[in-house]
Amino acid sequence: MRIFVVWSPVLMTDWGRPSTATLARVSDARAAQFWDRGRLISHSMGEQNRRGVVWDYIAVYSPGAIWKDRPPEALYHGGPVVRVTDAARAALAQALQETQHSRFQMRLEEGNDAAAGVLRPNRMSESRFHHFVTIQP
């Protein structure tokens, strides 16, 4: 899992970059934090005027989602963050579970392929044997 935290000036009191105490609110080492003074991300997500500012917002993306001109369609998105923590947590748990399941399936398929590779010589020889028996008479 990766976390992207984008701090933007929205309120009257947002005079500058986030302080150490503010940045410490997200202490997870998997997080990358950004200061978006021009609210570029919000603009890319549709901010046209003051009412359209995208902030106090959380989005969960499943594996495979690609950011092109704007962030991709989210598996879950909502806000204000404090009111949607349960829903966001549930979406995150679901996404992580699906990822682990699909990775397990991939490993299982890789395992099956490896097993097939080991067995193939025997199958080949058996096939050749049948072919030999068939053409001999």
Partner 1 sequence: MRQKSFLAAILSLAFVGALVSFYSGGQVPSGQAPLQSLTPQNLTEIKNSFNAAKNDVRVLLLLSPT
Under a CB-based contact definition with an 8 Å cutoff, are residues 7 and 26 in contact? no
As measured in angstroms, the least distance from the Cβ of 128 to partner 1 is 41
Neighbours of 105 (CB within 10 A): 10
Q: Give the C-alpha separation, 14 to 9, whole Å.
A: 5
Tokens 């890319």 -> residue: 44
- Among the listed ranges 91-99, 107-115, 116-124, 129-137, the one in contact with partner 1 (CB under 8 A) is 91-99
Interface residue with partner 1, options 13, 49, 122, 134 (CB under 8 A): 13
Interactions with partner 1, residue window 22-81 (CB under 8 A): 22-24, 26-27, 29, 31-38, 40-42, 44, 54-67, 71, 74, 81
Q: Write the DSSP assignment of 80-115 as a string of letters.
A: SGGGSHHHHHHHHHHHHHHHHHHHHHHHHHHHHHHH
- Among the listed ranges 3-11, 109-117, 126-134, the one in contact with partner 1 (CB under 8 A) is 3-11
Token code pair at residue 16: 């500058």
Count the site residues for partner 1 by CB under 8 A. 60
Q: Site residues (CB under 8 A) for partner 1?
A: 1-11, 13-24, 26-27, 29, 31-38, 40-42, 44, 54-67, 71, 74, 81, 88, 92, 95-96, 99
